[in-house]
Structure 1
Amino acid sequence: MTIRQFVFPAAAASLLAACATPMDAPSNAMAVPLIGASGQSVGTVRMWETPGAVSFRIEGNGMSVGRHGLHVHAVGRCDAPAFTTAGGHWNPAMRKHGTMNPAGPHAGDLPNVPVAANGTLRETVVLTGATLAQLRDADGSALVIHAGEDDNMTDPSGNSGDRVACAVLSPAG
């Protein structure tokens, strides 16, 4: 089990280092279904807030083997099969895509996640510089898994391909 961290902005590194990131979601984490292109549930995303960050525990099944791009998208809609209703990446600062792009990254850019040979995804990722209130604003947001690996450079989505799974981060109720 691995934890991948993405630091946004870079100054948040010291804040993130100061707090421990749990490998498993705490009992009070909000859970939402992860939906595949067929419209059926393929897993669960649990999210919780820590000081200066939002953590996501992603558990999925029946996915294609390999590394996949992962991003927070700007709209809380996951209409299968293409999930285009999730809009573009969450990008309130209007930056370019990618952690290796000198004009980036988008606020919603996250590290690639690995799907094992048996089609399972079990990963915890941390989005620093974000709060649940920001992600669960009036129109919500969505956590989207792409078909291919994100190159962390090419705008707008790192050449990560089609959207293959999506979880709605609903507006706060």
Structure 2
Amino acid sequence: MKKWARSVGILSLGILLSACSSNNNMKSDPKSEGASSMSKSSPITVQLMNSHGQKAGIATLEQAAEGVKVKVEAKGLAPGKHGIHFHENGVCEVPKFESAGKHFNTTKKLHGFENPKGPHVGDLKNITADQSGNASADLMSSLVTLQEGKDNSLLKEGGTALVVHAQADDYKTDPSGNSGDRILCGVIKK
């Protein structure tokens, strides 16, 4: 009887140690750690500049499950609404920022969320500047990604740009929603 009780005790201890050991192996498995860290990318910081080449704000882009989160802090704007878009070239040459090219539009659609033939993948909701000319906005785009190698990636070869316009985007008029001149620009690159 004593031998049987000792055998059961040793067997129970062996099972317990085995369970602890396999639980520790799961925690330190480099494959599982790498998988979770690879799905989470680092935020991209975009320095915005005005038509004189002076710093005029910052935008932070971060990949989320539903798309790309865009946090914008801009200054020196006229009070009111302003169109903001992703543009196809990662170049911001002053004073007009024409070097940024057209709106980022990998799907070849027309401009605007309210356009039945739209929108461009680079279209975003308007931002609003207060009476001091400062704008702070949290935007989301489900049409683009920060994952490299995808057609709609903002981190394509050569990069893309984030451009703020002088007027509000009407969300329907092609090619830019009647949003006027380009007044702020920032290059989006890794």
Normalising by structure 2, we get a TM-score of 0.73
Q: Which residue is 2:81 aligned to?
A: 67
| Distance in structure 1 (CA, Å) of the matches to 2:134 and 2:78 | 9
Q: CA deviation at 1:34?
A: 0.6
Higher helix share: 2
1:61-119: CA deviation from partner (whole Å, max 9, x where unpaired): 12111100111001111111100000000100100000111111101111111001111
Specify the alignment match of 1:94 in structure 2. Answer: 108
The residue number in structure 2 matching 1:35 is: 49
Q: After TM superposition, where is structure 1 displaced by more than 2 Å over at least 4 residues in a row?
A: none
Give the superposition deviation at 1:153: 0.7
Tell me if structure 2 keeps the 8 A contact 1:111–1:125.
yes
Contact 1:52–1:131 under 8 Å retained in 2: no
Distance 2:169 2:158 in 1: 26
Matches within 5 A, 1:89-168: 89-132=103-146, 133=148, 134-168=153-187
Cα distance in structure 2, aligned partners of 1:60 and 1:150: 17
Q: Of Structure 1 and Structure 2, which has the larger fraction of its residues in strand?
A: 1
Partner Cα distance (1:40, 1:76) in 2: 18
**TM, length-normalised to structure 1:** 0.80
Structure 1 position 29, deviation (Å): 2.4
Q: Which runs of 5+ in 2 are unaligned?
A: 1-41
